[in-house]
Chain A
Amino acid sequence: MSTVLPAGPGSLQSNPRLDQWLHFSGDGFVDVLSGKVEIGQGILSALAQIVADELDLPIDRLRMMAANTELSPNEGVTSGSLSIQDSGSALRHACALARAHYLEAAALRLGVPATTLRIDSGNIIAEDGRQTSYWSLVEAGLADLAVTGSYPVKSAADYRWVGRSVPRTDLPERIFGQPCFIHDLELPKMVHGRILRPPSPSATLSSIDVEEARASAGVIKVVRDGSLVGVLADSARNADSAVVKLARHAHWHETESLPDENTLASWLKSQSADSRVVEVKSIADGSSAPEVDRTVRANYSRPFIAHASIAPSCALGRIDGDRLEIWSHSQGIFNLRKDLALALAMEERQIVVRHVAGAGCYGHNGADDVAFDAAWLARAAAGRPVRVQWSRADELAWAPLGPAMAIALEADLDDTGAVVGWRHEVWSNGHSTRPGRAATPALLGSWHQAQAFVPLLAVNVPAAAGGGAERNAIPLYAFPSWQVNNHRVLAMPLRTSALRSLGACANVFAIESFIDELAHATGADPIEFRLRYLHDRRGRAVLDRVVEMSGWRAWHGREGVGHGLGFARYKNSGAYCAVVAEIEVEREVRVSRLVISADVGLVINPDGVANQLEGGAIQATSWTLKEAVRFDRKRVTSDNWESYPILRFSEIPAVLIDLVPSTEASVGAGEASLGPTAAAIANALFDALGVRMRDLPLTAERIAALLLAAN
């Protein structure tokens, strides 16, 4: 049984040579080169399962190589829940070709037709028992073969590894505390670098006396270029201590460049914007204009949100002659290389970026910025490698933030309560300032040099890639007409970029809250109301399953206890996910249980998918209940874990996950559950208290204010 897939994915078009993906080592192993990187999501383990099946190899014969710009295929950025689609699909085709190629070579050597051969653990065996192997045929050569997608891949019935909860290959080193993170990497003669970051986003350095820092213990050098100041020292501690001394003698020019954190939604709506129509759906030809009985309106918002990874960003850099080596936990090592070349006036071919795992990555964080810091300081380090690690405060205040958003929804209802018109407007900064996509670098330090590059204004990724602020703004419900508009706010006082699910979380929060409001306003059951307009079979299935699994119909609510539902198909083209949240409210909202049903197509690793869905739901619970970047008119003030609290163990809900069995194309799972979770919690809060919270986060103070107003 085999299946021929259509032409390969984009990853193959730009990296067509087989040896860009697979190396058959003489020692009985296969080195697998993916351009996607491990960011805590277990992707390399999942890709190994795909390769093991296509090559008929045990998984322990595979070596998943960390990506680097010298050897790996350029697969862009590891983002958007696309790795299984892009890299998994490309590797599938590459393996199919390699397998066919080796079968032909083995047929020649053994003098039998290829169709009579079978492969077991890399041994290619004839019917009469004679055999050869991938490794005995290494000289058959793979380099010149182009992967076209025309060789048959395995069908689902023949999978041995795909579909199983194979344990992650990279967890043991983490559980035994072995060196495995970029933070643990030491190079010979390494020195420690630190950057003195400005106190506020708009600050410029008026003057600085560096003498005390220069004379400080262990300091090798103090470097300044405009408002960018750094130090090299013989130890991390001495570098930290020197930065404190630099800060003491630095005079900054600061302005009140930030908006009022308490009125962000009205600030967003009052700014000049690049306004675009995302989609208009007109009434079908021949239909008469609907009679509008009434129009319901509601406004929703979310604040700026921090990535808040547990590890601060870290990088190592070394300059050897005219060659720069960078070790980085960037999501996009090729794009980082491009921007480093721009920022440092080098050629890309002079730069090698090697990926080393960092802590969990949820979007465009400080990884690329700290790589620039290391490269810039390496220039002053006379060939010695420089390790730079950000402070917790810099991580929370200087890494790009998930943008604040304001969303206005309107629905026209006819006299039966049916939705006959729908309007959705989004105001937000763009959701990407990722490196590698502009004419100037997206690297923080390069914006502070004397000959500074201009800070990049955030843009939205194209609709074909799922869009940015407008991601998931087009309704999944079959309303007869709609208009969706996106206003990209052009003032960017706080630096924004891609954070897990981009605009989808807030848009789904708004849409699914509004759907509940409409159901309530028309006296309809919220599930029935959704099913009336949701015609997609797979969408209906996750909704039905989550209702069934959560015992929705048998629910007995009482004062202060509620349940709510949220649903979305991520990017309108990816994973389907429905979430039921059960909450209790005393002073604060406490989520007691989340029940999640998802359809991610063919599941490569059920436990991995469950881990991603649950992780996304818990992160969304944290965003929804607690998180907001805090600032005054000059500075970000939430720069530690007390001023930027995230969900703790005592607040973690029980989570029940259901995966819909499917043979549809695999899609990513890491971002599907966030929006539905946020909406489900807000809807549960309405169920519990009868008040509608439309501004995130749902803090005790805001609930108290709403209750007071309602009474």
Chain B
Amino acid sequence: MARFNFVVNGAQHAFDGDGNTSLLEVLRDTLKLKGSRFGCGANQCGACFVLIDGAVVASCDTPLWAVDNKSVTTVEGLGRPDSPHPLQAAFLAEQAAQCGYCSSGMLIAAAGLLARCPTPTEAEVRAALERNLCRCGSHNRVIRAVLRASGQAR
């Protein structure tokens, strides 16, 4: 057993336990932040993406020891209904979802993109979302939403 200290959405947390526990399990089951979704458990679908010190990472196969002394942002940390992140406002404006299960991971991937590239091209948006799977076929709406959030309506 060891203690791991990390920040989640601006709040400091300490976790005593097995460092091989996945970050996703700690977020969902311990911190009750259900916004990061389980899809595959193998970093193949993007549903569980979070930002770790600004980098887009799959939380399902990230062990807790890897986030020690780091800062994690989940979809809940992007914004809230009364103070939405521009991406969340844009996703709602474009109705950029069907089932919405993949939305959290896409919002995180897009937030990571806009942080390093504030006015991406459509090709750059597609490339940034390439690791995110969507089965409902909402991709074009998501692309429009990300471009809208970046101030470039397509």
Name A residues whose Cβ lies closer than 8 Å to a Cβ of B: 39-42, 165, 167-168, 170-172, 174-181, 183-184, 186, 235-237, 308-312, 357-362, 389, 391-392, 607, 611-612, 614-619, 640-642, 646, 648-650, 652, 654-655
Contacts and interface: CB of A to CB of B under 8 A. Distances in A.
Contacts of B126: 649-650, 652
Contacts of B36: 177
Contacts of B101: 40, 174, 181, 309-311, 358-360
Nearest to B125: A649
A649 B139 contact: yes
B22 interface: yes
Contacts of B47: 310-311
Interface in B40-81: 40-42, 44-45, 47, 74-76, 78-81
A171 B95 contact: yes
8 contacts: A176-B80, A176-B88, A235-B29, A311-B47, A312-B38, A641-B133, A648-B130, A649-B125
B12 interface: no
Contact of A175 (B21, B41, B98, B107): B107
B7 interface: no
Contacts of A607: 95
B44 A640 contact: yes
Contacts of A177: 33-36, 74-76, 78, 104, 107
A117 B37 CA distance: 51
A310 B138 CA distance: 13
A406 to B, nearest CB: 26
Contacts of A235: 25, 29
Closest 6 CB pairs of A and B: A177-B35, A40-B99, A174-B100, A618-B137, A615-B137, A177-B75
B95 A654 contact: no
Given A183-B37, A642-B44, A648-B133, A236 B102 contact: no
Interface in B1-46: 21-22, 25, 28-29, 32-42, 44-45
B129 interface: yes
Contact of B129 (A308, A309, A615, A649): A649
Nearest to B84: A176
What does DSSP make chain B's interface, helix, strand, loop or mixed?
loop
A596 B5 CA distance: 53
Pick from B41, B78, B134 the residue with the most CB of A within 10 Å: B134
Pick from B36, B42, B76, B78 the residue with the most CB of A within 10 Å: B42
B139 A176 contact: no
Contacts of A174: 97, 99-101, 103
B34 A175 contact: no
A179 B133 CA distance: 20
Contact of B38 (A179, A183, A615): A183
A175 B137 contact: no
What does DSSP make chain A's interface, helix, strand, loop or mixed?
loop
Nearest to B46: A310
A165 B94 CA distance: 11
A484 to B, nearest CB: 30
A654 B135 contact: no
B136 interface: yes
A110 to B, nearest CB: 40
A41 B81 CA distance: 22
B135 A360 contact: yes
B75 A649 contact: no
B127 A650 contact: yes
Contact of A171 (B100, B134, B143): B100
A236 B41 CA distance: 12
Pick from B81, B98, B127 the residue with the most CB of A within 10 Å: B98
B92 interface: yes
A336 B28 CA distance: 28
A361 B98 CA distance: 10
Contacts of B121: none
B56 to A, nearest CB: 14
B152 interface: no
Contact of A391 (B41, B44, B143): B41
A308 B99 CA distance: 13
B127 A359 contact: no
B11 to A, nearest CB: 15
Nearest to B87: A175
B40 A392 contact: yes
B130 A178 contact: no
Given A177-B35, A360-B98, A236 B75 contact: no
Nearest to A617: B137
Nearest to B108: A177
A184 B34 contact: yes
A237 B18 CA distance: 11
A335 B16 CA distance: 45
A627 to B, nearest CB: 11
Contact of B39 (A172, A392, A654): A392
Interface string B115-154: 0000000000111011011111111110100000000000
A507 to B, nearest CB: 21
Contacts of A360: 98-99, 101, 135-136
A174 B47 CA distance: 12
Given A172-B92, A642-B44, A649 B143 contact: yes
Nearest to A45: B95
Contacts of B37: 181, 183, 310-311
A618 B132 CA distance: 15
Pick from A175, A177, A183, A646 the residue with the most CB of B within 10 Å: A175
B37 to A, nearest CB: 7
Nearest to B142: A649
A176 to B, nearest CB: 6
A169 to B, nearest CB: 11
B41 A392 contact: yes
Given A177-B36, A611-B141, A237 B21 contact: yes
Given A178-B35, A181-B37, A392-B39, A652 B139 contact: yes
A41 B40 contact: no
A311 B133 contact: no
A168 B102 contact: no
Given A235-B29, A615-B138, A641 B40 contact: yes
Nearest to B128: A649
Contacts of A648: 130, 133
A458 B44 CA distance: 32
Nearest to A395: B40
Nearest to B88: A175
A184 B75 CA distance: 15
A179 B74 CA distance: 13
Contacts of B88: 175-176
Nearest to A307: B135
Given A174-B97, A310-B39, A392-B39, A40 B136 contact: yes
A184 B37 CA distance: 9
Nearest to A608: B95
B103 A175 contact: yes
Contact of A618 (B41, B127, B139): B139
Nearest to B43: A641
